[in-house]
C-alpha cells in the first residue's frame, strides 16, 4: 500500500499502519476514478465498472508487516484485471483470501469460477488476470498475503489449484475466519490492541493456505503434513535446551536430509524456525508473566544461556527483552485506562 489520504498512523511498538478511504470524500461524478485509485493503493490496479450510477465504496486497511487485513464495502460492481494491467504494474505478487460478510459475488481466475458468499473463503492472485463480479452491495474481509512466502510457509509449490475455488469455512478454518473478522472489526477502533494480536494473526495467516490445501487434496499435501508435524514437535519440545537437528529428525522419524528439505523455500532453516518460536514464546511470557525474571523466561523457552537469549531476541524483535516487557506494560496500562478511566 502506498498510503492513505484519510487516516494514517503507526506506533512503532504495537500499532499497524492503518488507512481508511471512502467515496463519500469526493463528488459523485469523481467516485469511480477515486475508487480505482483507492483499490490500486490497497490492492492492485483494476478496471472497475459499477452497476449503479450512485456507486459508493469504502476500504479500511491495516498493514501488520507479515500480512495485511482490509474490510471492503461497496455497491454492486464488476472488477477486472487484464494481462495488460498486470504488465504495466510493478507490484509485488499477493494472494487475497476473501471472507464474505454480506452479499455474494463470483471470482473468476485461471479457468476457475467460484461464488463468494458467507461461509466460504475464496483465494485469488494479483499476478494473474481475474474478474470479481458483485451484482449487489457487499462487504468482505480480505487477508493480504505475499504470494511467494504464503506458498513457502504452507509447504506448497506455487500453483493455480487453490485459486478461485470455493473452500468451506468449517473445522479449523472457522476459527481462522472468526479471528480475522474480529481483528478487522478491532483494528480501526483499537489499533494498539490489534497490534498486540499481530503475532497470532501472522501465524494464522501463514497457515491459511495450508488449511485450504487440506480441503482440496493438492499435490504437495504429504510434504505439508510432514512439515506441520515437525513444527508441532518443535512447539511441544520448545523448552528443551538440548534440542538440535539430530534430535528433531529422530523425534519426527525422518532423516536429517528430509528434515532440511521440509523447510526449503520457507525462508528459514529448521533451527531458525526453532529460534523464532522460542522468541515468540518469550514475548508471550514477558507480557503475561510479569512475576517471572527475564533469565527464568530464557530457560523456560529453551535458551541455555542469557547471552544467546538476548542476542536472539534482539535480532528478531529489534529490542531487548527488558524493553519489550516495558512496552508491553505501557500498552496494558493504556488499554486499562481506556476501559476503566479514572474519575
- Domain spans of the chain, in order of start: 17-216, 221-339
Each residue's pLDDT tens digit, 174-209 = 999 999 999 999 998 898 889 888 888 877 887 888
Residues 174-181: contacts with CB within 8 Å, 24+ apart? 176/204, 176/207, 176/208, 176/211, 177/99, 177/121, 179/204, 180/69, 180/99, 180/141, 180/143, 180/204, 181/99, 181/101, 181/141
How many Cα atoms sit within 13 Å of 212 on the Cβ side? 31
Choose among 160, 177, 152: nearest CA to 66: 152
Burial (CB count <10 Å: 0-12, 13-18, 19+), residue 290 = exposed
Query: What is the C-alpha separation between 259 and 271, in angstroms, rounded?
Result: 11
Superfamily of domain 221-339: Homeodomain-like (1.10.10.60)
Instruction: Label the pairing between strands 47-50 and 167-168.
Output: unpaired
Q: What is the mean pLDDT of residues 74-94?
A: 92
Cell 537437528 sits on residue: 245
Each residue's pLDDT tens digit, 271-312 = 999 999 999 999 999 988 989 999 999 999 999 999 999 999
pLDDT of residue 242: 93
Q: In this structure, what is the dihedral angle of CA atoms 180, 183, 184, 185, given to the nearest 10 degrees?
A: 130
Query: What is the C-alpha separation between 213 and 228, in angstroms, rounded?
Result: 13
Query: What is the C-alpha separation between 21 and 5, in angstroms, rounded?
Result: 7
- Backbone φ/ψ region at 7: left (φ over 0), alpha (ψ -120 to 50), beta: beta
pLDDT of residue 261: 83
Residue 28: pLDDT over 70: yes
pLDDT of residue 328: 81
- The three-class DSSP label of residue 9 is strand
Predicted confidence band of residue 256 (pLDDT cuts 50, 70, 90): confident
Query: What is the C-alpha separation between 28 and 50, in angstroms, rounded?
Result: 13
| C-alpha 207, offset from chain centre | 9
Each residue's pLDDT tens digit, 227-244 = 888 888 999 999 999 999
Dmax (CA) of the chain: 67
Each residue's pLDDT tens digit, 127-169 = 999 999 999 999 999 999 999 888 887 777 788 888 999 999 9
Q: Which CATH architecture has domain 17-216?
A: Sandwich (2.60)
Residue 9: pLDDT over 60: no
Residue 71: pLDDT over 50: yes
Q: Looking at per-residue confidence, does 335 or 62 come out higher?
A: 62
Q: Which residues of 110-142 are buried (b: 16+ CB within 10 A; e: fewer)?
A: bebebebbeebbbbbbbbeebbbbbeebbebbb
Q: What is the mean pLDDT of residues 33-61?
A: 95
Crossing angle for the helix pair 270-288 and 221-236, to the nearest 10 degrees: 50
Q: Looking at per-residue confidence, does 173 or 342 come out higher?
A: 173
Task: For residue 338, give the C-alpha cell.
Answer: 481506556
What residues have CB less than 8 Å from 186, skipping those under 6 apart?
Answer: 193, 194, 197
What residues have CB less than 8 Å from 87, skipping those under 6 apart?
Answer: none
Other beta carbons less than 10 A from residue 47's beta carbon: 14
Each residue's pLDDT tens digit, 88-109 = 877 889 999 999 999 999 999 9
Residue 335: pLDDT over 50: no
Average pLDDT for the chain: 86
pLDDT of residue 219: 52
Amino acid at each position: 500500500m502506498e498510503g492513505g489520504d484519510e487516516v494514517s498512523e503507526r506506533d512503532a511498538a504495537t500499532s499497524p499502519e492503518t488507512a481508511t478511504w471512502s467515496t463519500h470524500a469526493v463528488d459523485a461524478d469523481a467516485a469511480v476514478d477515486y475508487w480505482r485509485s483507492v483499490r490500486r493503493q490497497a490492492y492492485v490496479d483494476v478496471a472497475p465498472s459499477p452497476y449503479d450510477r450512485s456507486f459508493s465504496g469504502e476500504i479500511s486497511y491495516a498493514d501488520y508487516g507479515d500480512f495485511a487485513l482490509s474490510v471492503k464495502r461497496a455497491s454492486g460492481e464488476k472488477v477486472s484485471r487484464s494481462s495488460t494491467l498486470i504488465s504495466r504494474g510493478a507490484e509485488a505478487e499477493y494472494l487475497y483470501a476473501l471472507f464474505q460478510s454480506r452479499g455474494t459475488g463470483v471470482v473468476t481466475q485461471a479457468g476457475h469460477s467460484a461464488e463468494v458468499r458467507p461461509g466460504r473463503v475464496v483465494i485469488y492472485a494479483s499476478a494473474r488476470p481475474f474478474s470479481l463480479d458483485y451484482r449487489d452491495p457487499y462487504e468482505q474481509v480480505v487477508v493480504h498475503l505475499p504470494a511467494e512466502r504464503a506458498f513457502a510457509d504452507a509447504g506448497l509449490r506455487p500453483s493455480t489449484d487453490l485459486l478461485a475455488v470455493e473452500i468451506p469455512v468449517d473445522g479449523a478454518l472457522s476459527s481462522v475466519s472468526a479471528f480475522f473478522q474480529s481483528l478487522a472489526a478491532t483494528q480501526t477502533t483499537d489499533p494498539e490492541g490489534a497490534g498486540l494480536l499481530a503475532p497470532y494473526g501472522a501465524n494464522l495467516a501463514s497457515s491459511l493456505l495450508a488449511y485450504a490445501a487440506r480441503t482440496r487434496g493438492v499435490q504437495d499435501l504429504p510434504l505439508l503434513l510432514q512439515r506441520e508435524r515437525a513444527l508441532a514437535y518443535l512447539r511441544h519440545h520448545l523448552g528443551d535446551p538440548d534440542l538440535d537437528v539430530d534430535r528433531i529428525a529422530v523425534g519426527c522419524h525422518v532423516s536429517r536430509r528430509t528434515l532440511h528439505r521440509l523447510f526449503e523455500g520457507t525462508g528459514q532453516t529448521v533451527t531458525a524456525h526453532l529460534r523464532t518460536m522460542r522468541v515468540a514464546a518469550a514475548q508471550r511470557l514477558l507480557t503475561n508473566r510479569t512475576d517471572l525474571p527475564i533469565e527464568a523466561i530464557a530457560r523456560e523457552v529453551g535458551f541455555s544461556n542469557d547471552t544467546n537469549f538476548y542476542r536472539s531476541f534482539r535480532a528478531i524483535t529489534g529490542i531487548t527483552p527488558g524493553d519489550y516487557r516495558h512496552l508491553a506494560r505501557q500498552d496494558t496500562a493504556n488499554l486499562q485506562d481506556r476501559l476503566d478511566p479514572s474519575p
